[in-house]
A and B are shown apart, each in its own frame.
Chain A
Amino acid sequence: MRSGSSSTGQLAAARRCSVCGAPAVAYLPYARLALCKTHFVEYIDRKVGRVLRRVSALRPGGLIVAAVSGGKDSTAMLASLAKHARSSGTRLLAVHIDLGYGDYSLRSREAAEKACRELGVPCLVIPFEDVVGVSVYELARRSRRPVCSVCGIVKRYVLNALAVEAGADYVALGHNGDDILAYALKSFLNQDLGYIAKLGPSTETVPGLAVGRLRPLYEVFEKETLIYVLVSGLPFLHEECPYRPQAPIEQRLKEAMNHLEEEHPGLKISALRRLAKNVKLYERLGGGGETGRCRHCGLISAGEECSFCRLTRRVLGEPAGPRVRTWLRERLEELGLRGGAPGGSTGGLHVRGDQALGETKRGQEDTRGGA
């Protein structure tokens, strides 16, 4: 960085921390707080802790599976969750799904594994193409569906299957407050009220079929997760997925909400807290929906076949759910993590992340083909 011939010179910090008076790295208008690095991290960790306590996510011997992409949100989520897990005796297993999107996936995986190593959290990498025999892109191409939609089905399925096999209490996701509001607004516009019902800080576990999802960053905004990883010095990948549409509607909704928030500080946090209170109401309005068991893999399904088994059966000729479950079971056994009942297994989880658990070799060729 060039120092230049600045006429302003080295300026005093524009704002001082409301707690200790050190130079501030963030000002949060909705909380009327300026915070230095230390107190900013503490503030976010407290917010995360409140959400975790509200949904009783922490318990000695409990297990949380944390989905990590290598991006800022899941990295911040993992870092904060690791602190709370450690102090409460809750076990934590990070999982990264290698989606096979060429160099982007390589860099994502590197960032995720590095963050796990630095945080001392064991990391299971799931190389999707090696496990299922076909890439996510190929599944999308052959089923004539958008990559994002197929990617969503794959991630939801694999994470849930892993959590069920491990007997985990929760699957923790890196959704931040801005994500939740954008999903809720989009669902409202589509009048998909049943989906809004799933947008609370946690969703419920259906024993044997589905493990509840947990959103530790429910009240943490996108800008805050970014500042959190920056001031914590954590490795993360700040890159767009190559398959991301040019202007997804969620992005526009976030921008609109941010403009409103600038004019009306506190709008977003109030909306989130009210949403969290009303999810049960949306569940009734949305009609709930039947919970079934997939006849192929035995996991949760709206009908008699889950969306992952249906998709893979149509493309590959046979459903891939059972194969995925077997692969995960074997990896968990290697890790000493085959749970069954929550809290049922003990050993293995305190291994360090740098032991690169459950990896298999895979070709790193770009799977985008002629797209």
Chain B
Amino acid sequence: MVRVVAELLPDRRRVEVELEKGTVAELLERLGLSREGAVVVRDGTPLVEEEVLRDEERVLVYRAASGG
């Protein structure tokens, strides 16, 4: 189990999510976001879908279809 804190943008909503495998793809699925329509960012760097998140990690989740 990996617990991550995701800050959703542009909503500025913060959610805590518990993940089984802890991948970026799993996080997006849990947030109900398409992999094609969102970007998960750690320390300013975008992550690919297979990237495994660390326990207690905070990431930014940008919804791409916003704020164009």
Contacts and interface: CB of A to CB of B under 8 A. Distances in A.
The yes or no verdict on A and B being binding partners is: yes
B55 interface: yes
Q: Is the interface of B mostly helix, strand, loop or mixed?
A: loop
Interface residues of A, number: 48
Contacts, number: 114
Contacts of B35: 258, 262
The CB with the most chain A CB atoms within 10 A, among B2, B45, B46, B67, is that of: B67
A25 interface: yes
B55 A226 contact: no
A239 B48 CA distance: 23
Given A8-B2, A238-B9, A223 B64 contact: yes
Contacts of B45: 25, 37, 230-231
B20 interface: no
Interface stretch (A51-59, A171-179, A296-304): A171-179
19 contacts: A1-B42, A6-B57, A13-B51, A14-B47, A14-B48, A14-B50, A15-B48, A72-B67, A221-B64, A222-B65, A223-B36, A223-B39, A226-B46, A230-B44, A230-B62, A238-B66, A240-B66, A262-B34, A262-B35
Given A13-B48, A14-B49, A179-B68, 17 more contacts: A3-B54, A4-B55, A6-B54, A7-B55, A8-B55, A14-B47, A26-B46, A71-B67, A222-B68, A223-B38, A223-B39, A226-B39, A230-B46, A231-B46, A239-B66, A255-B37, A258-B37
